[in-house]
Each structure stands twice: as C-alpha cells, then as structure tokens.
Structure 1
Amino acid sequence: MKRLLRLNNKEQLLSVLKMILASSFSEQKGIRVKHLTLNAAMNHLRGGNEVANKELKRGLEARHIQMIALGGTIGVGLFMGSASTIKWTGPSVMLAYAIAGIFIFFIMRAMGEMLYMEPSTGSFATFGHKYIHPLAGYMTAWSNWFQWVIVGMSEIIAVGAYMKYWFPDLPAWIPGVIAMVILGAANLISVKSFGEFEFWFAMIKIVTILLMIIAGFGLIFFGIGNGGEAIGISNLWKNGGFFTGGFSGFFFALSLVVGAYQGVELIGITAGEAKDPKKTLTRAIQSTIWRILIFYIGAIFVIVTVYPWDQLSSIGSPFVATFAKVGITAAAGLINFVVITAAMSGCNSGIYSAGRMLYTLGVNGQAPKYFAKISKNGVPLFGTVGVIIGLAVGVVLSYIAPKNLFVYVYSASVLPGMVPWFVILISQIRFRKEKGAEMKDHPFKMPFAPVTNYLTIAFLIMVLIGMWFNDDTRISLIVGIVFLAIVTISFYAFGIGKRAPLDVQNDQEISSK
C-alpha cells in the first residue's frame, strides 16, 4: 500500500488498479496471469515492461499443455538421433532408452515436488537462484536459452537431411534456408495462435508414431503388409547380437539417448502456469513413464525388429527406412513428410522458447535491455531475431560440412541441457531441508529422495564422461564447457547475473511484508 501512495498522480494510481482488476477478470475467464503483482504493475508505469503484460496474459488450456509437452519432447532426438544410437549399440538401445527414462522420471518428480508447493515460480532459474546460488540461476537461464537455440539448429539440419529421401542430390542447406525463413517470419509476425499451432503439429507426431507402432506390430507378429509372413523378432539377436557395440557402444549411445529426452521438463513449467496447477502437474508428470514406454521404447522396438538394424544408414530417419524396407513405400513417404513437419515444429518451438528466454533475461536485467523490447504484436523482437541468427549458423554449417553434422550439433545441446536437471536435483535437496515439517504431509514427494537425487546426478555425470571418450561427441562437450565458462565469467565480470529474477524479487517483497 505504501508503494501505491508514492505514485505521483491519480492517473498512475488508476493505471495500476486497472491492471490488477484486469488480471482478476482474466483469471475468472480461465486465463492464467503469471506473476502480475504490484511489482509488475510498477514496472509497467516506469515503461520498462509495458508490453510484457500482453505476453503474460497468454495462458494455455489443459489440452495445449498436455499435447505441447508431449509433442515437444518428440523430435529429431527420436526421429533422427536414433539412427546413430542404433548404429553404436544395436538393439540394446532399447535398454538405453529405458535406463535413461527412469532417471528422467526422477528428475521430473524432483521438479514436481517443488512446483507442487511453489507453482508460481515455475522456473529453473528461480529454483537455482533461491535454493543454491545466484550463479546457478543465471547459468540455468542462459543454458536453457543455448539448449533451445542448438535444438532449433539441429531441427533445421534435420529438415535438409529428410528432404534427401525425395531429392537425393539436393544440397541440405537449401531446405534449411526455406524452413528458417518460414518459421522465422511466423514467429516475428505473431505468436497469438502459438498454442493451437503447436497443438496440431504435436498431434500429427503422436498419431504417426502410434500408427507406426501398430503397423510395426502387425508386420512383426502377423505379417500384415508382408504377404502374411510374420517378420518375427529374430533381428533383435541377429546381425551382431543384442549388445553389438559392447559396453563402450552402449555407453556412447547414452549421450544421444539422454539428449532425446531433453525438453521433457518443460511440462512441469507449463503445468505450473495452468488453471489448476496441482492437478495438471501431477497428471502430467505421472504420465511421463508411460510416454517413455510407448513413444520411445515402443518405436525403437519396431525399428530394430522390422529392419535389419545393421543396414540402417546414419543419414535420414530410421522410421522412413523401416517402412521402405518392407516395401510400404507410400507409408514411408508419408512418414518422411510427417518427420519434416515434426522437425519444423520442434524448430518453431525452439525459436519461441529461446526468444522468450532471451526476452526474460533482458527484463530481469541479466541480458542487454534491448532484448526486452517487444513489437506491437507482442513479439520479443530482438530476442527472436537473435535465435534466427543462431539458426542461420546451422544452415551455414550444413553447407560447409554436411557429413555427420547432425550428431555434432545435436550433442552440443546435451551439457547445457543437463544444467537445468542438475539444478533441479540439487535444489530439491535443499528445498526439502528448508521446508522441514511442511514436507510431512506433502502428497507428491520425490520417491526415495535424496538417494535417487544422488543416483541421478551420478548417471548424468557418467553420460558426460561417455561423451568425452566418444570421438563423435567430444567436440560438442568441449563446446558446452566453453559456453558455461563464458557464462560464469560474465556473471562475475559484469555482475548482471547477480540480479534476482523478477519472481524471486516478488517473493522477497511478499515475505518482507
């Protein structure tokens, strides 16, 4: 109230009250307004965040949350990255997906435990800043931005590789440029229909994978589409055996397998902004294990069983090769179209997410202020342009060195993408200690913590060690280390990272009153 009385005139007071009343009206209509506090209203009056309020009012319905989160984790990591992992370790890649999936589930539960009690934070940077150290929050925010830029680059590269199915002689950079221009323009023009756009593209990916699994089971067990002759499961132990690459191959495959799961944690953030966060959050996280079993392990099982996996090329999608091998070329062409749209969808999500992350960093004073500028349509203009420039780098790389480029670029996102996971696991340990007696009646606690925290951290470190000893991923690990070093240096050299995120500032203001 004292802050309101300090306003200079009645017009300013009226402006603040209108914003607060508007937020209450929007909440009644089912639109979630994230962190629209008195602090945000004051920022609005100072001119530092006048358009941010429009962005914050764009809430997502439950169907958007579920479908975007589900489809967002299904991208090049599964459609294209599975080619390299199968080549390295053979059919045992299914076991790699299962093992990694268990630890991913623990990460989700650790995040869910915190978000259940603090759904308004919904940010890795907030947890890191609040429960570990300001550097942890700062590094998490920038790592998340870097991860999504790299993912967007890998999706652009994947589009060029997929187009070779129809146009073998077409340079990969040409489709990449076309995809970049289309998606860049779409993000710069408007983001009003982003939820619906991603909802339907996610639906296409999910339905396609389910149909492929069903058709694959028909081929394997009943010979449907193969003249009635069942293919069987002998490919699982033929062509070199189940563990073809031995322990080292299995070890190397884990890096790309883990990378395929990156982004799954976004479901917790999105659910934390939902109309009924606790209900939506628990459902979304609990469904993680089923998504892993069905979409990842189920799809890989069909691929390594239907297709002689040792003949899979490291170029293109194993999904397409699987159907083409058994003579269903029409289905293969259709799936190739679907995985192209899936790659474009993932790239579009990357542009949106990374652009908004850069915008948020600008608003929080943790990045140059011009990144906080928003266009008339509510688009973070410079933040989005910065991401598009990153995608252009991917296009240039596909022109200079197209061979095995996808593996190099995609694996570069693994280390920065793991930073939020490490922060979640460590934050949850300190979160539980700080809450103390409040945890006694917590209905959504992480199973067997903190033992599962330490086991998951050890697993992630083991994956990073495997990347170092793999010639195909070592350079990407070095890139990630250099990036984190630059972020750390900027934190201490300029001090901009020591500024708390706005939601932490708001929490501190509330607790002090």
Structure 2
Amino acid sequence: MTMIVLGSALGTGLFLGSGSAIALTGPAIIISYAIGSLLAAIIGGSAGEMAVRYPVRGGFGSIATRYLGPYAGFLTRWAYWTATCAITGIELIAVGSYLSFWWPDLPLWVGIVVFGVLIIALNIRSVKYFGAMEFFLSSIKVFALLLFIVVGLCLVFFGLPGHAASGVSNLTNDGGFMPGGFTSVWLSLAIVMFSFGGVEMISISAAEAEDPARSVRTSAKAMMWRLATFYVLSMFIVVSLIPWQQAAGLEGTVATSPFVMVFAQVGVPAIASITNFVVLIAALSAANANLYAGSRLMHSLASDRMAPSSLAQTSSAGIPVRAMLVSLSGVVLAVLLAIFLPKAAFGVMMTLVMVCALTVWVLILLAYIAFKKVEGNSAPFRLWGGRVTAGVAILVLFAIWVALFKLDGNGVPATVGVVYFVLLTIIYFAVVKNVLTVDEDAFAEAQRATEHYESDRK
C-alpha cells in the first residue's frame, strides 16, 4: 500500500513539473515543497484516519457522502475519478517527453500510445499481479531517488573524484534565495501541489487490504515521512548543484527533467541517461497506479448508481474492465493534445488536474472535520491536531486555488474545470439526487472488520 501511494505521488510533478516551479521561485522552491509536504501529510493523514475507521469501497468519497451529504460525495468521487484519468494521461505525456532524450525526432503521441497499451496490460490482470508490479516499479524509482539524494549530497558538500564540491552558493546567487518574494512561493504552490497528487489513494486501497487498520496506519506514517524527505532534499540538491535559472530552463515545455540536468551539468552523461530512464519508470509507475485507482473509482460510482450500471461489471478475475476502459479517457485526451498542441499539452492537463485535486482535497478535509465531530478519537490512527489542523489546511488550499487562476496561461483550462463542475452539479440534481443513498450496511460491516482486526492485534 505504501508503494502504491508513492507510485502515484513520486511521478511527473517532482521529476518534470518542478522545473516550472523553480522558474517562479528560484531556490525558495525548497520552502514551496516543504509547505506542500506538510499539506500532503495533513490530507493523507485525514484520509487515512477515516479509512482506518471505515475501510469502505469508494474510500473518502463514500465517507464524504455519509458525513457531508450525497451531493458532496457525488462531487468528490467524480472529481477524483476525473483527476486520476487526467493524471494517467499527463504521466504518459511525460513518458513520451523523456523518450525525446534519446530520440529527439520521435513524435510525442507515439510514446503515449505505446506505453498506454503497456499499462492496460498491467491493469487487466489480477489485483495481486498489479500490486506486485506496482511494488516493483515504485521500488525502482524510490531506490534511484535515494541514490540521487546520496550522490547529490556528496556533490554538494564533499565532491567526488573529478568533481569538486559545489557548496551552497547557488542558493543565493542570481537574485538571492527568494528572488520573487513570498508571492512567488504562493504562486508556485499551484504547481508544486500537483506533485502530491495520490497521497489520498491510501483510502481507496484500504477496502482491498487484508488488515485495513494495520495496513493504513503503517502506510500513512511511512508515506508522510518519505514524501517530505524525498521532495525537500531533492529540491535542495537540484538548486544547489545548478544555477536555478538553468534548472528553470524548461518553463513552458516538457523536454527535460531537472534531475537529468543535474548530472548532465556535472559532466556525467552516462548517469544522466540512467536518470532519464528512472524518471521514465517513475512516470510509467504513476500512470499505472492512477489507472488502477480510476478503474476502481468508476466501478464504485457505477455500483452506487452514480454512473451507468454496466460499468460495475467485472471480469472472471474480478477486474472492472469496462470501468478501466472508460478511465482511459485521460489517455485519449493526452494523445489528442500531443498531436494538435504538443507544447501546451503538459500545462493544460496539469491545470485540469489541479482544479479537480484542490476540490477533492477540500472536500476530504471538510468530511474529516464532520467525521471527527461525530466519531471523536475512535480510530486507531489519528491526525495530529485533528479538526484545527484540517481547518488551517483548508484555508491554505483556498489560497492555492486563487493562485491557480493567477498563473499565466491557466485561465482557459481552469475555467473549463469550473464549467465541468457546473455540469456535474446539473447532472446530480437532474438524474442522481433521487436514487443516491448512504450504504449504512457497508459502513457497519467495515466497522466490524476493523474492530475484529484491532482486537486480534491486541
């Protein structure tokens, strides 16, 4: 479960999208990712605490239905499904972009199609097979990222044979540590938070865990510390080793990862090529994890009569194949953008993801506040600070929402995202409202299972 969460979170947002964030903030990107890590920990902790108490199908979406009402649950689940579909597409755009490191003339859409077929093959097998493959893919990039951090810290502070230590002078050169002021840090959070998409997936996978209470509690704690360490240290190394204006050179494009640039700048082309392979695996792993989540979310929506009932059918292996095929819509959009708007494809899809993700995160935290008011401290895993911490996080997320609209080039895709939610609202009140109910039996069964496992553990 920890690797599935890391598989989604450690992807394109960190390895490729960080270049645009560096362009806004300079070395202060370290602060941006520290704030983002804290927010991600609060969101993941909130979703984890609710999932430990109620490991129900549909995860935090079902919980939002119970504690905020059917409309909030409907919006949460559809927004999250949309986000996972778009993330699947954007990760495959990154895969196609990384291929250009070796084959500059290869069309972007070719890589998207080829690797799109690959993740379909991975997801169409059993859950056990998917989990093993995702663990393998995530392990590669987690190990490689740890190696990057170790080698990077050596290059910064000690040097390596043939390469003197760079020191930290790049943190204050070219305009100082925060050349754009704190406003730039605020604006960059609209990009940085894309890197943390997937921290809430722990709630989705809880329903298929053998022991949800133990699994979620362990995974949530591991996820919080690992993400914070990986992100902050990685950004420190990038902006320490190369001048931030060079690391920001890919603003507006999807050509090269700052992580690849680090090794290219220090004159180790073989390692740069290996790093490019690793970030490609990272993007593929994230696409794989999000297609898994999207298919389960659509299956849950259909089972709960929020989507066509035919999408609730599963194969003999228990895989919701029809739901998975519908969840490939983000890949289709990615292919179309790669053909007609290749330079804008990454930015457009990232903005669409953020509109959905910010909405989902706010609703998760609102559901958590309502959950705590009713359930108190009944869950075996608890978020530090409870409702107060969640309330502060909501205010920060609203500030990021404003920043999303203020970024150059984001107006049209962000507006499209808002229109999408208006359409969802119309559909809810016209079609879904009268048939949607809370499945109290599912919550009662989940609670009994949790209490059983907790009793056995003690």
TM-score above 0.5: yes
Counterpart-to-counterpart distance in 1, 2:354 and 2:121: 28
Q: Which of 400, 424, 429 is 1:487 aligned to?
A: 424
Is the 1:162–1:340 contact (alpha carbons within 8 Å) kept by the matching residues of 2?
yes
Q: Which of 71, 82, 91 is 2:7 aligned to?
A: 71
Is it true that 1:391 corresponds to 2:326 in the alignment? Answer: no
Is the 1:190–1:377 contact (alpha carbons within 8 Å) kept by the matching residues of 2?
yes
Deviations 1:38-65 (A, max 9, x none): xxxxxxxxxxxxxxxxxxxxxxxxxxx1
Percent identity between the two aligned chains: 35
Gaps of 5+ in 2: 448-458
- In structure 2, what is the equivalent of residue 240 of structure 1? 175
The structural deviation recorded for 1:115 is 3.0
Counterpart-to-counterpart distance in 2, 1:480 and 1:407: 14
- Aligned residue type for 1:381: V
Counterpart-to-counterpart distance in 2, 1:268 and 1:354: 13
Q: Which of 403, 407, 411 is 1:466 aligned to?
A: 403
Matches for 1:49-198 after TM superposition, within 5 Å = 65-120=1-56, 123-188=59-124, 192-198=128-134
Counterpart-to-counterpart distance in 2, 1:237 and 1:187: 46
Counterpart-to-counterpart distance in 2, 1:179 and 1:173: 10
Q: Assess, with a 3 A threshold, how the Cα gap between structure 1 residues 497 and 480 changes in structure 2: closer, same or farther.
A: farther
- In structure 2, what is the equivalent of residue 476 of structure 1? 413
The structural deviation recorded for 1:111 is 2.7
- Aligned residue type for 2:260: V
Q: How high is the TM-score relative to the length of structure 1?
A: 0.81
RMSD, aligned CA: 2.3
Deviations 1:429-471 (A, max 9, x none): 22222235xx3x7654433333222211100000000011112
Counterpart-to-counterpart distance in 2, 1:224 and 1:88: 31
Gaps of 5+ in 1: 1-64
Counterpart-to-counterpart distance in 2, 1:219 and 1:507: 52
The structural deviation recorded for 1:345 is 1.6
Counterpart-to-counterpart distance in 2, 1:182 and 1:112: 30
Q: Identify which range, 149-158 or 427-436, moves more after superposition.
A: 427-436
Is the 2:17–2:191 contact (alpha carbons within 8 Å) kept by the matching residues of 1?
yes
Is the 2:55–2:203 contact (alpha carbons within 8 Å) kept by the matching residues of 1?
no
Counterpart-to-counterpart distance in 2, 1:120 and 1:347: 24
Is it true that 1:331 corresponds to 2:275 in the alignment? Answer: no
- Aligned residue type for 2:171: L
Q: Assess, with a 3 A threshold, how the Cα gap between structure 1 residues 122 and 363 changes in structure 2: closer, same or farther.
A: closer
- In structure 1, what is the equivalent of residue 348 of structure 2? 408
Q: Assess, with a 3 A threshold, how the Cα gap between structure 1 residues 497 and 414 changes in structure 2: closer, same or farther.
A: farther
Q: Assess, with a 3 A threshold, how the Cα gap between structure 1 residues 217 and 344 changes in structure 2: closer, same or farther.
A: same
Q: Higher relative contact order by CA 8 Å / sep ≥ 6: 1 or 2?
A: 2
- In structure 2, what is the equivalent of residue 264 of structure 1? 199
Is the 1:220–1:233 contact (alpha carbons within 8 Å) kept by the matching residues of 2?
yes
The structural deviation recorded for 1:246 is 2.7
- In structure 2, what is the equivalent of residue 214 of structure 1? 150
Counterpart-to-counterpart distance in 1, 2:124 and 2:40: 33
Runs of 4+ in 1 over 6 A off after TM superposition: 508-511
The structural deviation recorded for 1:357 is 1.4
- Aligned residue type for 1:84: S
The structural deviation recorded for 1:332 is 0.7
- In structure 2, what is the equivalent of residue 446 of structure 1? 383
Higher Cα radius of gyration:
1
Counterpart-to-counterpart distance in 1, 2:359 and 2:81: 11
- In structure 1, what is the equivalent of residue 212 of structure 2? 277
